[in-house]
A and B are shown apart, each in its own frame.
Chain A
Amino acid sequence: MSKDNQILEEFTSKEYEHGWSVNYEADEAPIGLNEDIIRWISAKKDEPQWLLDWRLKAFRAWEKMTEPEWANVHYPNIDLQKLRYYSAPKQSKKAKNLDEVDPELLQIYERLGISLNEQKRLQGIAVDAVLDSVSVGTTFKETLGKLGIVFCSFSEAVHSHPELIKKYLGSVVPMTDNYYAALNSAVFSDGSFCYIPKGVRCPMELSTYFRINAANTGQFERTLIVADEGSYCSYLEGCTAPQRDENQLHAAVVEIYAAKDAEVKYSTVQNWYPGDKNGKGGIYNFVTKRGICAGDNSKISWTQVETGSAVTWKYPSCILKGDNSIGEFYSVAVTNNYQQADTGTKMIHIGKNTKSRIVSKGISAGHSQNSYRGQVQVMKRAHNARNFSQCDSLLMGSKCGAHTFPYIDIQNSTAKVEHEATTSKIGEDQLFYCNQRGIATEDAVALIVNGYAKEVLNQLPMEFAVEAQKLLALTLEGSVG
């Protein structure tokens, strides 16, 4: 066995770090999908009638839709009737605050390195922890509350701020937007809700940590962020799942609304279980993320580091409606073994002088397939719209693939759209050069990859940039061939 193969072998036998699961008594919906299940979920959450009606409307629309097939990913048909749509850890009584949450559940997060204990937390980050279908707790609620910031689980917000939910739910991603968004609208269970009032600059990072624990259960969370005029917030989402042989479905919807002069920065470090080295198991990650720069001079910035999931299908997008609004998309997507990712963004320029910037860095190793799919659309009214797109692909080994599908649609002649793309391979020369300076191959790969992804990693909040760097190195360990 050559040295490279040997390293590859060592890596692939390395276990996914977060592959464990915990047994707890769960409150579960029966398996299957129909109107009764939706009523069951809605009743479980004690929802108002209007929300149940909204769900049912989405369900009826979904029934008429078909699964999209245009993405460059291949997977066996998912039998949605064999999934469970709600699973929640049973708690004797409803926890009013974190002190009342079952310590066993808090331990799950401790084990993931996410302490929900406010004293122990890194200063400056508030966390909403979502386990399977429910939020188990949100930290720093009081601190944020003093500024008028609402940060809580979605279910809680339905009761505490129904007027906001009613106004913004589905306003960015309509319930019938696409197959998985419609499914999510019908069965979503929990997620995070965040509202930043006028002129408030959120003083800490807000974050949601999603964990799938139960088997045969789909996770359908819904996140809604509303930034009122002149406000600012930075939001981070992290995710992991146990290692299971069967595939699990994760179909989330994230909506961001930015009013006049508001700015939202949304970062994701996605590390769902990617399946084993032969491509068995792993999460199907079919996610709809979209933000609207509704007011003038608003800004939405997406940063994603995608290392997990067996199949990823995800296009965080910006609708640039307000004049002078700005949309940004920074992405590093890493695929190894048999992972498949079809990810990118849509920038829709509607307002005048709108600007968008796309920086996508794909890294493919093993037998994986990595596609960038991006759309830049400049509407008639969008005078002086500007877009710059840069799509780079890095290949490691000779069995993986990198694909780029850029779509550009310009209806205004004053628009300036630039697209740059490169494809490169980690060279033997680069590795040898590092080796010759005393740097081991593994560390050399980490160094080169992090250098390649630097522009994107720089966009992440400090604490997470370090995590993301480690994660990149871990995902690619030994994948040089």
Chain B
Amino acid sequence: MLSIKNLHASIEGTPILKGINLEVKAGEVHAIMGPNGSGKSTLASVLAGREEYEVTQGEVTFKSKDLLDLSPEDRAREGVFLAFQYPVEIPGVSSTNFLRTAVNQVREYRGQDPLDAVKFLTLIKEKMKLVEIDQKLLSRSLNEGFSGGEKKRNEIFQMAMLEPTLSILDETDSGLDIDALRIVSNGVNQLKSDDKATIVVTHYQRLLDYIIPDFVHVLYNGKIVKSGTKELALELEEKGYDWIKEEADKATV
């Protein structure tokens, strides 16, 4: 579904990603871990098409399309979803209004008729249950005055509404207490299916207790330096990142 080959990206001339290779197939869950500053969030942003990052080398194909050639909105419409680490606030725009615009633009791109108010509300009611989100929250301005947990739950709620094929969760666990973490993970797990894939970007192993990955990759200094199964995450939890750094630094010398 997603194939990343030798991806290099930089911001304001500073290289951050230095040759990422990754294959993600339908039905798989991949975890990207790594120490702070290793390029995890950059990878998520580059895949979503954030303009500040310049791709200097490499290619990314998504469902046999050149992903890098698509605008951020077309990537979203093709089925790439990014759950933001820091969801932004949009004053005066209710979550419902925002989502209705989004859902209908995505549907239009896919050649589907827009949802009328009744169908849209039915869909909202159905998806709300997944992340136990309060309906009152949806009539409030998007993310404005939301608690950290509410923002993250709202991200997963949006994901449920937009039904992406590839979901990228960027540090979705940060700032969540254990209950919120359980609710959010629960939502993600229920959305999993054989034709969809998930990339979980996280610093801690904690989230992976709830969202069980098929593969774990360690990103360090802009490269994937180690890949393994969920046992690798447990090993990292126990030993920290230093041994990986040492191994990687030795290899480059």
Contacts and interface: CB of A to CB of B under 8 A. Distances in A.
Interface of A: 3, 427-430, 432-441, 443, 447-448, 450-455
B101 A447 contact: yes
Contacts of A437: 76, 98-99, 102, 106, 158, 162
A438 B84 CA distance: 14
Nearest to A361: B92
Nearest to A429: B88
Given A437-B162, A443-B101, A452 B72 contact: no
B88 A451 contact: no
Interface string B226-242: 00000000000000000
Interface string B49-89: 11110000000000000000001110111000110100110
Interface residues of B, number: 32
B102 A438 contact: yes
Contacts of A454: 92
A437 B82 CA distance: 8
B93 A448 contact: yes
Contact of B90 (A428, A435, A447): A447
Contacts of B87: 433
Contacts of B52: 428
A439 B90 contact: no
B141 interface: yes
A451 B141 contact: yes
A447 B106 CA distance: 16
Nearest to B86: A429
B91 interface: yes
A304 B169 CA distance: 43
18 contacts: A428-B51, A430-B90, A432-B48, A432-B72, A435-B71, A436-B73, A437-B76, A437-B99, A437-B158, A437-B162, A438-B77, A438-B103, A438-B109, A439-B105, A441-B73, A448-B93, A450-B92, A455-B92
Contacts of A436: 48-49, 72-73, 75-76, 81-82, 84
A433 B84 contact: yes
Contacts of B106: 437-438
Nearest to B97: A447
Contacts of B50: 432
Interface of B: 48-52, 71-73, 75-77, 81-82, 84, 87-88, 90-93, 97-99, 101-103, 105-106, 109, 141, 158, 162
Contacts of A453: 92
A452 B73 contact: no
A450 B77 CA distance: 23
Nearest to A437: B102
Nearest to A392: B91
Contacts of B109: 438
A11 to B, nearest CB: 17
Given A428-B51, A433-B87, A436-B73, 5 more contacts: A436-B72, A436-B81, A437-B106, A441-B73, A448-B90
B208 to A, nearest CB: 24
B73 A440 contact: yes
B93 A447 contact: yes
Contacts of A429: 88
A432 B51 contact: yes
A435 B106 CA distance: 11
A346 B227 CA distance: 68
B101 A439 contact: yes
Contacts of B103: 438
Contacts of A439: 73, 101-102, 105
Contacts of B51: 3, 428, 432
A447 B98 contact: yes
Contact of B91 (A3, A434, A435, A452): A452
B124 to A, nearest CB: 15
Nearest to B102: A437
B71 to A, nearest CB: 7
